[in-house]
């Protein structure tokens, strides 16, 4: 579910609180686009290697998952592929090679954990064998 801040004022308030706290901690911080979504995914679901040009942060509410974060520089996102994703010429999935994993930071997220990463940083996700929210 995307843009849930428009559907329920409680999420609008949560979104405002998150951005206000970031602005308090990061001088000059000013996000021009603020959105919040709710992802519910199946046990053992996988999200393949991709990048999100808008940037993102992830809060784990329920279940556990492993996330692999890759450097935001070539060759992990190849410039031509990143441009195509940004221009919506292609989807968010980009080329992946198994050796990229040698350069990944790996985190196991549990309920209550939060993670964000560098803009354009490719990532992929493996859910553990439980529903994830
Ligand atoms: Fe993503």
50 CA distance to ligand 1 middle (Å)? 6
What pLDDT, on the 0 to 100 scale, is given for residue 133?
98
Percentage of the chain beyond pLDDT 90 is 85
What pLDDT, on the 0 to 100 scale, is given for residue 93?
87
23 CA distance to ligand 1 middle (Å)? 23
Q: Which tens digits make up the pLDDT trace of 53-92?
A: 888 889 999 999 999 999 999 999 999 999 998 898 888 8
pLDDT > 90? residue 97? yes
| 91 to 12, 21, 97: CA distances (angstroms) | 28, 32, 18
10 CA distance to ligand 1 middle (Å)? 24
- Give the β-pairing of 105-109 and 114-116: unpaired
6 CA distance to ligand 1 middle (Å)? 21
CB burial of 15-50 (b: ≥16 within 10 Å; e: otherwise) equals beebeeeeeeeeeeeeeeeeebeeeebeeebebebb
């Amino acid at each position: 579910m995307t843009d849930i801040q428009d559907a329920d004022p409680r999420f609008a308030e949560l979104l405002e609180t998150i951005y206000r706290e970031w602005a308090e901690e990061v001088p000059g911080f000013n996000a021009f686009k603020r959105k919040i979504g709710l992802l519910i995914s199946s046990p053992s679901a996988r999200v393949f290697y991709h990048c999100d040009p808008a940037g993102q942060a992830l809060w784990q509410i329920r279940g556990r998952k492993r996330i692999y974060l890759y450097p935001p520089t070539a060759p992990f996102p190849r410039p031509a592929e990143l441009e195509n994703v940004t221009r919506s010429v292609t989807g968010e999935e980009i080329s992946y090679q198994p050796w990229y994993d040698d350069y990944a930071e790996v985190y196991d997220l549990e309920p209550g954990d939060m993670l964000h990463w560098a803009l354009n940083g490719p990532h992929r996700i493996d859910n553990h064998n439980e529903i994830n929210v």
